[in-house]
Structure 1
């Protein structure tokens, strides 16, 4: 059984609230879970103390049992100092400007300012 530490959505329509749970990776997002280990309220400002609550002791216990955090939860754990901050993936090349746009930007950068 592979375990995940992930977000489970709660709250009303357009008023999200998330529980941080330990669940079997095969169970649905908002379905069955093993233990609730924290919460996340994205409606609060980022500097607010109640935005993210983590039960550090239980999270470390489950990680020692083999549970893997999702990307967002790993970021929360890194900010809380429980684990190392995750390294971010490179930005996909598909979203970069195309060749002609890159040439125009390079030409504009090298052109003298008038």
Structure 2
């Protein structure tokens, strides 16, 4: 997937410091129960790759954003922060090992971009 100058501005890529500036925020049992109803509605794109990484994007149901804890969001952009594996798995996202959440798409905050090294 080629990224052009036009769509690069719409992506928010976080340096590792943004991700590591906070600790993992685990879900409470009540939050987890509210999110479980959306797990089957999560859509996973086909995988695509470049020379170094394999990629995919994960689309959450839009209504799911209303029940995700506010601490998971970036107050400046309104998108989800870059999530630790424990956090995105807690939301019901299921993928094999090695995937990392590395970007969010500002115009469509329900779309999370993932990658893993080849």
TM-score, normalising length: structure 2: 0.26
TM-score, normalising length: structure 1: 0.27
Q: Which has the larger radius of gyration?
A: 1
Q: Which has the higher contact order (CA 8 A, sep 6+)?
A: 2
